Structure 1
Amino acid sequence: MRRLEDKVALITGGAAGIGKAIAETFAREGAEVVIADRNAEEGEAAAAAIVTKNGAALAQPTDVADIAQVKALMDKVAEVYGRLDILVNNAGIGERSDFRHLDDEAWDRVWQVNVDGTVRCAREAFDLLRKSGKASVINISSLMANKHTRQMSAYSASKGAISALTRSLAVEYAPYGIRVNHLAPGYIDTEMIGRFTGNPLISKLLLGQTPLKRFGAAQDVANAALFLASDEAAYITGAGLSVDGGMAVTL
């Protein structure tokens, strides 16, 4: 039997990169997948690709920074499935700027997507998750919540907030059979960080700080998400799992 057989899984930011890999992996393991992404065309394409491989998926255009769209997303899940077993809060953006020159608009944009989006999805999905009886929420934090670099203060702060929120929700949601954990990816070879890893000098520097001496693949994160979503992690909540090749433990 597949590990997520008959489960309903919602992945935000599921049209590309890590989110897409998670959606594809969950579908292969038997889940009915909902891909929520603000890029409607890419979301539909990702869902269609899963269906062509005999998986079950649908797409719902959603900007998690917009509470009305988040509510519409949860209404869609309720209408089609009536419950939710797995929520992956993956949607996120970055902003590179010296802190001295970081304006309020840029800060707010990062916070609204990364933090407010996670908060809204976890809150608005609560009734659907409770119906599962043994639901799993997986928030995507980052290596940068604890290991910092210049010009990424907004992103790092937002991911640190997600890690803290995970621990709080784990306590609040436990009485309802809902586990809440987070993943902290390092440098994963996706389009989002390609501008760093594509530079030979930066690539050499980053790999020098990575004990496993390679960048991660989106599938590496998807595999970790699969574990946390499955019954194999039934006694794990409030935890953070690093998927960074060991980079977090280097000086």
Structure 2
Amino acid sequence: MSKQLPFSGLWAVILGGSSGFGLAAVEKLAANGMNIAVLYREPSAQAKKANETFTGLAIKNNVKILAYNLNVLDNASRGSFIKEFNTADKKGKVKLLLHSVARGNLKPLIADDEQALLTTEDIQMTSYAMANSLLDWTRDILAAKLFHEDGRIIGLTSEGVNKHWDAYAAVAIAKASLQSLTTYMAVEFAPYGLKTNLIQAGITNTAALQKIPGSDKLVEIAQTRNPLKRMTMPQDVANVIYLLCTDEAAWINGSLIHVDGGEHCR
């Protein structure tokens, strides 16, 4: 008789799951029996490749993986997804909402070329994409009665909140907002059985990192600074996302969890 996997019958909704931390989470959770709705925004060629990956993972792990190539920041798209996803067999089954959206403006605060400057509109867009959109998604999934009675909400932040990275101001502002939002969500959504936490990953060589000016220098520093003598990998973060979804993690709420091998200590 085969042993039941820990997350069999449950669902995750992953916002931004076509690469990096989101994709690693899809792989880890699917391997442990969780069904997944993965939402992302990619051009057709990349979307086709992502769908092939998800199909393969679903077959390999005997789970359902529903892929949606849509704008997760658009109210109408969010409403359309929830209407389609909201079926009787999914009621009360969403164990995890993972916010892994990497969309923001990478511009300096001051430069000779005014066209290259970060604007308040850039900051507002980035803040909604990488922070405040989590609140809208949480509220709508909760209103649809889709969350599990012991659900998890997880966001992602970075060390760039507290240290200067070139052209990272808009994202840093968004991530700082996300940290405060996590605190308030942890308190105000707790009566609904939801635990809200934030993961601060070490510097990880993802596609999102490579878009940051000077990212090669960040990679070089991380490789020498980390006490464990290697960079953080997406799988390291996915492992902790998995841990936070277990029953044993039910008392972790409102926490900022460093997943970096001790990199933040130096």
TM-score by length of 2: 0.85
Distance change in 2, residues 1:102/1:35 (3 Å): same
Measured against aligned partners, the alpha-carbon deviations of 1:8-61 in whole angstroms (never above 9, x if no partner) come to 111110111110110111111111111111224355234212223133211122
Larger mean CA deviation between 111-120 and 74-83 belongs to: 74-83
Q: Which amino acid aligns with 1:41?
A: K
Q: Give the letter aligned to residue 125 of structure 1.
A: I
**Which residue in the other structure is 1:52 paired with?**
59
Q: Deviation of residue 90 (structure 1)?
A: 1.0
Which of 220, 244, 248 is the equivalent residue of 1:228?
244
Deviations 1:155-205 (A, max 9, x none): 111111111111110101111111111111121122222467997655333
Is the 1:20–1:46 Cα contact (8 Å) retained in structure 2? no
How many angstroms does 1:4 deviate by?
1.6
Q: What are the equivalent positions in structure 2 for 1:56-67 lying under 5 Å apart?
A: 56-67=64-75
Q: 1:174, 1:150 → 2: CA distance?
A: 37
Identity %: 26
Q: Distance in 1 between matches of 2:246 and 2:91?
A: 20
Q: Distance in 1 between matches of 2:215 and 2:35?
A: 38
Does the C-alpha gap of structure 1 residues 207 and 182 become closer, same or farther in structure 2, counting only changes over 3 Å? same
Paired with 1:119 and 1:26, the residues of 2 have a C-alpha distance of 23
Deviates more, 1:65-74 or 1:195-204: 195-204
Cα offsets for 1:37-96 (capped at 9, x unmatched): 122435523421222313321112231221111122222221362332211111122433
- 1:116 to partner: Cα distance: 3.1
CA distance in 2, matches of 1:168, 1:200: 35
- 1:55-204 alignment runs, 5 A limit: 55-79=63-87, 81-83=90-92, 84-100=94-110, 101-128=117-144, 131-194=147-210, 202-204=218-220
Q: CA deviation at 1:99?
A: 1.2
Of the structure 1 ranges 217-226 and 135-144, higher mean CA displacement relative to structure 2 is found in: 135-144
Q: Max radius of gyration: which structure?
A: 2
Q: How many residues align?
A: 250
Which runs of 5 or more structure 2 residues have no equivalent in the other structure? Answer: 111-116
In the superposition, relative to structure 1, how do residues 139 and 227 fare at CA in structure 2: closer, same or farther (>3 Å)? same
Q: Hey, what's the Cα distance between the residues in 1 that align with 2:216 and 2:80? A: 44
Distance 1:150 1:189 in 2: 16
Q: 1:220 to 1:128 in 2, by over 3 A?
A: farther
In structure 2, C-alpha distance between the alignment counterparts of 1:208 and 1:215, rounded to whole Å? 9
Return closer, same or farther for 1:186/1:129 CA change in 2, 3 Å cut-off: farther
Q: Is contact 2:183–2:254 with CA below 8 Å preserved after alignment?
A: yes
Unaligned runs of 5+ in 1: none
Aligned to 1:138, the other structure's residue is in SS state: strand
